[in-house]
Each structure stands twice: as structure tokens, then as C-alpha cells.
Chains A and B, each alone.
Chain A
Amino acid sequence: MTEKIKSILETVMDPEIPTLSIVDLGIVTGIISETEGQAHIKLTPTFSGCPALKIMETMVHDKLIEEGYTDVKVHTSFDVQWNSNMISDKGLAALKKHGLAPPPKHDGYFELDVLSDTPCPLCDSRNTTMSTPFGPTLCRSMHYCNNCKNAFEGFKPVG
């Protein structure tokens, strides 16, 4: 039963990145469905201060109600701490499709120097410069591609 819920949640998109589902983003950390109509969902924030999280809770709730679930609970928990490795391969591709440089994979600890040669999502050049590690949302950094001369945003690596 949880597989079915997962496939439903794969149609719920990040409100700020319409190509990326919340499942591929890696923020769905628990699905409980032990009886017919039950769907208890646990989400974890990408960043503690992410204002989209409340919106995503509502989106998940409404979607499951729409799909006929009657006992729907959605809550946020830190018991699994999100990190950028939790974005699926499909999710990484979806980020790029949206024009965002995907975060590099890391093994827990990494130096933020990795941001300085982020591959350009438009032309794949590594000849890029990070303008600032802070962007229009908490999870994004801003870069400039010296090759194709475009400014672009990256999805930040988080350990």
C-alpha cells in the first residue's frame, strides 16, 4: 500500500521547481499505510527555514484526500536529516532540466570550494565562477558561466 502512495507523491511537485517531485527531492522520509484509507506521511525539510515546506505539507495532504484516502496525516520531522545526496538521479536530471545546476555528490563532509567550479547547466562547461553561495531561495547558490556567458543558479550541496 505504501508503494501506491509513493507513486501518488511522485506527482506532487516542488512548488519552486516544477520539474522535481518531492519523492525525487528526497524529502519523503516516512509512509505509513496499515489500513484502507490510511496515509500518514513524514516529510523532512531541505533547510530548516524553508517556507515551501508548509505549502508542500498542504499539497501532499490535499492530493491524498483527492485520491480517496480518508485518514491523512502529514507532519514534518527532523528524525531523518535531509542532505543533497538524497536527491534521486531522476531528481538531479529534473533540476538540470529546470536550469539549476545539480549539487555534486559528497561523502558527508565536503569543502565549499566544490561550488567554485559548478558545471553550467546550460552548456556543461566547468569554467564557471560562483557569485554568491546565497540565492533567491535558501537551497540555491548563484553562478556565472565564463563560457556561455550566462548567469545560472545551482542547488546547494548540503551535508
Chain B
Amino acid sequence: MEFTDKHVQGLKDLLYKMADDLLIIGHRNSEWTGLGPVLEEDIAFSSMAQDKVGQSLALYEILHQLGESDPDTVAFTRNAPQFHCSQLVELPIGEYDFSLVRHFFFDHAEAIRFDMLATTVVEPLQMVAKKFRGEIKYHTMHADIWMKQLGESEEAKMRMQNSINEVFPFALGMFEPSEFEAELIEAGIFDGEFALREKWLNKVVPLLESFGYTVPNAETIIPEFGGRKGQHTEHLQPLLDEMTEVFAIDPGAEW
């Protein structure tokens, strides 16, 4: 079908929120570089950071093809209110339990999102979605192993459970609907945030229960929305200031 302006706007909105999620979680993951509790975990979070930032670049490239600014400009010159990431990804890394739980919730959502987008009618997006799936598989595997293992001793399980309770409303915030849901679904661009949320719940709830955790009731929890519309926690702007510090010294520098 022929895309209307609204379809294109909806597509750009979708691309921005996915790319911004990946860039910001990538930056947060990278904060574990040098600090991981064991060397292998240091490397794991650093590798995942690199994957996420690489994936965000591929999505910013698609936006660039659609007429938006080039990826560096988009990544390094916007302020918090212009970012469409969910609040989940901007929260500080906290203790390791917090970062692992966020990683588990986020990566399962990503795996499903890109699985859904592997059949989108938007060809360049379909191609990168197919590519990302193979990479994200390593991320969900990593998250699952730790969620399982840390559910097996008393103190670790208590810490993980507390983080699950804390992170869950923010995780639900990932699925904040956009104003273009109907257009995206109608055009075959994306089946929408609600469908994604349902698939995600069907994945993460049984998994967590099988590891012995209690999952808050998604129907009664109020999701932490706002991120998709540029309303962020106080944590995003300091992250952006740090991330863009070098770029801002000399924006025209050739690297």
C-alpha cells in the first residue's frame, strides 16, 4: 500500500524509539566496563553495549535515509526532551541485580520486537531486524542464565526479587503506545506495542516463575510511561551530557 504522511511519521517515531532505547541501554551497559563483578561479566556487558550501539546506528541510518539528520548529529546533539527512549533504559546501572533484571526484561522485549519486525513491509527495517535477531539471542541467553542461577540462593534471590518488583513498572513502560499504532498496524509496518506487550508477558512471566520468582500483576501495576513522548527521569540528561562530552568539545572534528 501507498504510505501516507501519517504512516511515515509513525515509522519514524517507531525507529526513533527503538534506536534511542538501544543507544541509551548501550551506554548504560558500557558503564560496567571495568567494573563487572567478574571478568566474564565485564566482557559480557561491554560486548552487549557494543552490539546495542551498533544496532542503534543501523536504525539511525534508516532514519537518515528517510530524511532525518545523519546518525552522529541525531545521537549527539539532542537533549533529553527530544529522546524517545523508555525510562527503563535511562535508569542508572545500580547494583548488579538491578542491571541484570533490566537486561532480562529489555532483551526479551527486543528479541520479540525484532522477530515481529522481521516481516515488516519496510524493507530496510526488515533486513536489520533479521540481522539483530541472531545477535540478541546471545543477550537473552546471558540474561536467562543469570536470572536462573541467582534464583538458587537465598540472598541472591531476595535481591533479584526486589529488583524485579522495582523494575517491572518501568519495563511495562517500554510498551507505551504511540499515537500511530493504528496506522502502523494497518500498513503492515508493525503489529503494535500492545501485541508486543502480550507476547512479552507470555515469555517473561512463565520464565521468571520457573526460576522461582514472583511476578507482579501486569494488569494492576501502573506502567512508567512518558519516555516515548520525551518525558524523562532526572537521570537521562546527565547521561547525555557525559555521552556527548567529547563530541561537544569539537563537533566538526574528523576522527
The minimal Cβ–Cβ distance linking B34 to chain A, given in whole angstroms, is 15
Query: Which B-chain residue is minimally distant from A136 (CB atoms)?
Result: B43
**Contacting chain B: which of A9-17, A48-56, A93-101?**
A48-56
Interface flag for A19 (CB, 8 Å): no
Given the interface pairs A134-B40, A135-B43, A158-B134, the reply to whether A78 lies near B51 with Cβ below 8 Å is: no
B230 to nearest A CB, angstroms?
A: 26
Is the Cβ of B131 less than 8 Å from the Cβ of A81?
Answer: yes
Give the shortest distance, in Å, between B87 (CB) and chain A (any CB).
24
Q: Which of A50, A79, A83 contacts B54 (CB 8 A)?
A: A50
CA distance A72 to B134 in the complex (A): 31
CB-CB nearest in chain B for A133? B138
B128 interfacial by beta-carbon distance below 8 Å: yes
Contact A48 B131 (CB under 8 A): yes
Q: 8 Å CB contacts to B: which residues of A104-159?
A: 112, 131-136, 138, 142, 156, 158-159
Please measure, in the bound complex, the distance between the C-alpha atom of A26 and the C-alpha atom of B133, giving whole angstroms.
19
Give the docked Cα–Cα distance between A47 and B55 (Å). 9
What per-residue 1/0 map shows which CB atoms of B27-45 lie under 8 Å from chain A? 0000000000000100110
- Size category, A interface: 20 to 34
| Bound: A156/B43 CA distance, A | 15
Residues of B within 8 A of A134 (CB): 40, 43-44, 46-48, 138, 142
Cα distance A138–B57 when bound, in Å?
16
Q: Is B137 an interface residue (CB 8 A)?
A: yes
Question: Is B66 engaged at the interface, CB distance under 8 Å to the other chain?
Answer: no
Which residues on the B side are within 8 Å of A135 (C-beta)? 43, 47
**In the complex, which residues of chain B have a beta carbon less than 8 angstroms from the beta carbon of A51?**
50
Cβ contact within 8 Å between A83 and B47: no
B133 touches A159 (CB 8 A): yes
- Return B204 CB to nearest CB of chain A, in Å: 18
B58 touches A (CB below 8 Å): yes
A residues apposed to B, CB below 8 Å: 45, 47-51, 78-79, 81-83, 112, 131-136, 138, 142, 156, 158-159
A-B contact pairs, 12 of them (CB 8 A): A47-B135, A48-B58, A48-B131, A49-B51, A49-B57, A83-B134, A112-B141, A132-B44, A133-B138, A134-B40, A135-B47, A142-B40
Residues of B within 8 A of A (CB): 40, 43-44, 46-48, 50-55, 57-58, 124, 127-128, 130-135, 137-138, 141-142
- Besides A78-B130, A131-B40, A135-B43, 18 more A-B contacts (Cβ < 8 Å) are A47-B54, A48-B58, A49-B54, A49-B57, A50-B54, A51-B50, A78-B58, A78-B124, A79-B127, A82-B131, A112-B141, A132-B40, A132-B43, A133-B44, A133-B141, A134-B138, A138-B47, A159-B134
